[in-house]
Structure 1
Amino acid sequence: MTMYNHTQSQALPRALYTAEQVKALDQAAINELGIPGIKLMKRAGRAAFERLLQHWPETDSLTVYCGGGNNAGDGYVVAALAAQKRIAVDIVQLADPEKLPADAYTAYQFARQEGVIMAPFQEHGAIAGEVVVDGLLGIGASGAPRGDYAAAIRQINEAGKPVLALDIPSGLCADSGHAEDAVKADVTVCFIGLKRGLLTARGPKLCGRLYYHDLACAEVCNKLPAGVERIQSAELLARLPAREADAHKGRFGHVLVVGGDYGFAGAALLSAESAARCGAGLVSVATRAEHISAIISRRPELMAHAVVSGQELEPLLEKATVVVIGPGLGRSPWSEQLLQKAADYSAEHHIPMVMDADALNMLAEGRVLEGARDNWVLTPHPGEAARLLKSDIPSIENDRFESVAQLQQRYGGAVLLKGAGSLICCNQAAIGLASVGNPGMATAGMGDVLSGVIAALIAQGMSVGDACRLGVCLHGDAGDLAADEFGQRGMLAADLIPYLAELLAES
């Protein structure tokens, strides 16, 4: 699940780039479109300044932090434009302006001509402006900020004043979203190419409200393929097969949910009910005998079966179009036996399978038939991903893009790495990033709901990759609708289920 809802996603481009790719876009704009670098810089500064005024229209004073690169040049332009508007502005400098790149130095002279007050950074100084503009470090910076830059970032964050970041919050890795010490912005304005690190890992938290401006360079952006793309439900819904007038339930697949060990019946129920609400023709649950009456009383449309062994599971597998295994599965001998039977049957008979929770943990421990498969979906959170890759959570989160690619290469099929900016990797397609959802979805049962959604879409004829992508988007969109009604803090996983049906009503 994704964990934020600050991005102005409808206005953001689909393609997401690395820092090196964005540098190539900059050069293409200069060389192919004939736009001088200083003109691009002034466009960026103006776009940022206009956004600043939209968010804080009563601003009387600004403090702009400028480093030693082109990001500082954007800051000098913002300061000059503020001075022209008779807004009191001062610049905190962390680098000798005489050593700035040529375009940034021209921007510095622009600010001087407008009479902007400038002074070197002082670690124990106070911030005078009502709003702070972060032009310290751009996409070229690597590693954790050091020295005065680290101190300046702390100073900005501790001031408690509104912050606008130019292109990217200083200290945030444009490629991965990893950050140690970084500016926490309220607004970030990104230029030319949208950096992929802004939308996953720590990016969403540090960016605040994210905006994009192409600086009139869309022509060059369209020429450079991106290895990562934002995905949204609207475009993916068109791939869900339409229902014919003479349709019957047999045409929409049979989802079998395997799970619900002692104490975990609710997980299997959430997954099964979600699958039913998302259009699966038939939904069965294989679980402990003690849970049957509770499941049927909650949702009589489900077919609930008591199973005590893998042998008893096999007749249910024979009827299934897709299997979900993991919700509430647990780690008991019963759990392992059901997992092994389901995994073996799926491999032998080419039945798609969605694996979640403890099914992934047992896969990581080698309790499932080894080898990559093209017809399963793995849905790990960072902890499960770390176990699957024999790694650790910090390593997974330090580069989520590389982590999801490694998972897909090792296990095949479609892999969904959950978290802020969930990532989906399937075969050679671009990695999908879902900028949907909100922090209220950080609660028990959300993953169970998601596994049921994905399974229902596979049952209705979608590929595992498309089902995974659409399922994540629907799940996040439903979470936003539920938050609008219940608020984020009190949201429950079951609250999403009616909204899932609503989102699919017009498809």
Structure 2
Amino acid sequence: MARAGTAAFRHLRRRWPQAQRLCVVCGSGNNGGDGLVLARLAKAAGLAVSVHLVGHGPRAGSEAAAALADWQAADGRVEPLPSRLPAADVYVDAVFGIGLKRAPEGAAAEAVARLADVAPVLALDVPSGVDADTGACPGVAVRAVETVSFIVRKRGLYTGRARDHVGELYLEDLDLPAALLASEKPSAWLRGEAVALPPRRPDSHKGDHGRVLVIGGAPGFAGAARMAGEAALRTGAGLVTVATHPTHAAMLNVGRWELMVRGVESGGALREAVAAADVIAIGPGLSTQAWGRELWQAALAATCPLVVDADALNLLAASPYRRDAWVLTPHPGEAGRLLGLPTQAVQADRFAAAGRLADRYGGATVLKGAGTLVRVGDDVELCGAGNPGMASAGMGDILTGVIAGLIAQGLAVEEAARAGVCLHAAAGDRAARDGERGLLATDLLPWLRRLANGIGA
């Protein structure tokens, strides 16, 4: 607790070096004790500090009780929670740590609500009101500018609603020996950056880098299939064919002549292309009408891996099917349809939803959203990259093409899903350097090429 409070105070002074007035709101548990240590150090450094204690105070004999005694021995006062927090340069949230599974209640709910109305807030370990395991906010929650988390990373802070509340996130391991955690299996793995693909052999030819078949593009939706195909090319696939509706086949590759385009009237017209493909990406702009359903059935008959997105996922939800050699890439709404759940239930526990999808449908599941999850069997990988600018049309089509392009080049389905998600997210972060608002899906394309080659990191 002493190390946690000391580390948190160090972060406070780094971020707000001019702060003179500090307001610390403490719960009755260990998180509150961390806040009391910080308050004592801040007072010793000459800051004006007000401490507000929630509830009945720490349990007698606990570390938090010792921290309270140290604060009072330093002539620190403890005040009840006011109807409105006093003016301060920085507010410290030390109400809840880990373990919150339901909406805050009573005095704790009032404290969280008071902190939710002020800024800036430094949260200790977890912003109060956020579930550290799921990232959900079952009730009111603090929106921190910065969160200093302790000992280990909490998976929920990297996904879902938590991303709106954590602010900048820092980890302090408190110098605990690594051996203490050596026998513990992480509940999720965090990946934050793209990994470059290995150099190509000097004597390689296009056939060595795989054949991708993109199926999609019903009338009015040609762009989705085009973006998926171009993303596969920019990721390094050797040959990309787009099978699309005949009404716009002639114009789909205008400006991207490297795409091979075939107009197909029915699933029967796909046999040759399906047989030649190393991987099929199906769904972008597919529609769930008769034409789309026929093409979906033709893709299901293929022996090569599939990457399944958009309307292909909706068709799968209507007629569930299990397969090992595929990647499903639902957003929360599509995941809800696949599981027969409302979107809110998916977002309430994204980790559980991804697990149910993997159990039901097999293969690799990519649950898109803030903090995208990749579930393969019992293993979960969480992508820490990405930004709100990527909440725009076509981003999922680009991701579908990226994953398909990686499979075409020889990556296993599972690794292509993991690597593709972070390659896509990292490209989005690079493209957002010009601003998140107005970011287009196609803005990622040049960055996909650079990052796949280890350039421009």
TM-score (norm 1): 0.87
Alignment-derived partner of residue 363 in structure 1: 316
- Name which of 348, 352, 357 aligns with 2:305: 352
Q: Would you say 1:391 and 2:341 are equivalent positions?
A: yes
| Matched residue SS, 1:227 | coil
Shift of 1:100: 5.4
Write out aligned runs for 1:210-359 (5 A).
210-219=169-178, 220-234=180-194, 236-237=195-196, 240=197, 242-344=199-301, 346=302, 350-359=303-312
Q: Would you say 1:56 and 2:16 are equivalent positions?
A: yes
Alignment-derived partner of residue 107 in structure 2: 148
Shift of 1:373: 1.3
Alignment-derived partner of residue 34 in structure 2: 74
Rate the CA distance shift 1:242–1:218 in 2: closer, same or farther, 3 A: farther
Shift of 1:503: 0.5
Deviations 1:328-355 (A, max 9, x none): 10121101111111112x2xxx210000
- Report the Cα distance in structure 2 between the residues aligned to 1:326 and 1:218, rounded to whole angstroms: 48
| Matched residue SS, 1:289 | coil
Shift of 1:71: 0.5
Write out aligned runs for 1:153-192 (5 A).
153-159=112-118, 161-179=119-137, 180-192=139-151
Shift of 1:294: 2.3
- Report the Cα distance in structure 2 between the residues aligned to 1:100 and 1:255, rounded to whole angstroms: 66
- Report the Cα distance in structure 2 between the residues aligned to 1:492 and 1:389, rounded to whole angstroms: 30
- Report the Cα distance in structure 2 between the residues aligned to 1:444 and 1:92, rounded to whole angstroms: 46
Shift of 1:95: 2.3
Alignment-derived partner of residue 77 in structure 2: 117
Letter in 2 for 1:473: C
| 8 Å contact from structure 1 (residues 68, 100) kept in 2 | no
Query: Which runs of at least 4 in structure 1 moved beyond 4 Å after TM superposition?
Result: none
| Matched residue SS, 1:68 | coil
Shift of 1:447: 0.1
TM-score (norm 2): 0.97
Letter in 1 for 2:101: S
- Name which of 429, 439, 442 aligns with 1:494: 442
RMSD: 1.3
Higher RCO structure, 1 or 2 (CA under 8 Å, sep 6+): 1
Write out aligned runs for 1:21-100 (5 A).
41-97=1-57, 99=59
Shift of 1:128: 3.0
Shift of 1:101: 5.7
- Report the Cα distance in structure 2 between the residues aligned to 1:141 and 1:115, rounded to whole angstroms: 32
Alignment-derived partner of residue 95 in structure 2: 136
| 8 Å contact from structure 2 (residues 99, 131) kept in 1 | no
Shift of 1:140: 2.8
Alignment-derived partner of residue 439 in structure 1: 388
| 8 Å contact from structure 2 (residues 40, 74) kept in 1 | yes
| Matched residue SS, 2:420 | helix
Deviations 1:77-111 (A, max 9, x none): 01000000010001011123363561000001111
- Name which of 358, 362, 368 aligns with 1:412: 362
Alignment-derived partner of residue 154 in structure 2: 195
| Matched residue SS, 1:462 | coil
- Report the Cα distance in structure 1 between the residues aligned to 2:51 and 2:100, rounded to whole angstroms: 20
| 8 Å contact from structure 2 (residues 125, 149) kept in 1 | yes
- Report the Cα distance in structure 1 between the residues aligned to 2:129 and 2:414, rounded to whole angstroms: 33
Q: Would you say 1:456 and 2:405 are equivalent positions?
A: yes
Shift of 1:218: 4.1
- Report the Cα distance in structure 2 between the residues aligned to 1:82 and 1:198, rounded to whole angstroms: 27
| Matched residue SS, 1:467 | helix
- Name which of 465, 478, 494 aligns with 2:414: 465
Letter in 1 for 2:110: A
Write out aligned runs for 1:471-490 (5 A).
471-485=420-434, 487-490=435-438
Deviations 1:298-342 (A, max 9, x none): 210000000000111111111111000000101211011111111
Rate the CA distance shift 1:226–1:168 in 2: closer, same or farther, 3 A: same
| Matched residue SS, 1:207 | coil
Deviations 1:117-153 (A, max 9, x none): 321112x233232210001111133310011211111
- Report the Cα distance in structure 2 between the residues aligned to 1:111 and 1:445, rounded to whole angstroms: 55
Deviations 1:366-401 (A, max 9, x none): 1xxx54211100000000000101111111111111
Letter in 2 for 1:404: A
| 8 Å contact from structure 1 (residues 63, 132) kept in 2 | yes
- Mind listing any 5+ residue stretches in structure 1 that lack a counterpart? 1-40
- Report the Cα distance in structure 2 between the residues aligned to 1:227 and 1:276, rounded to whole angstroms: 34
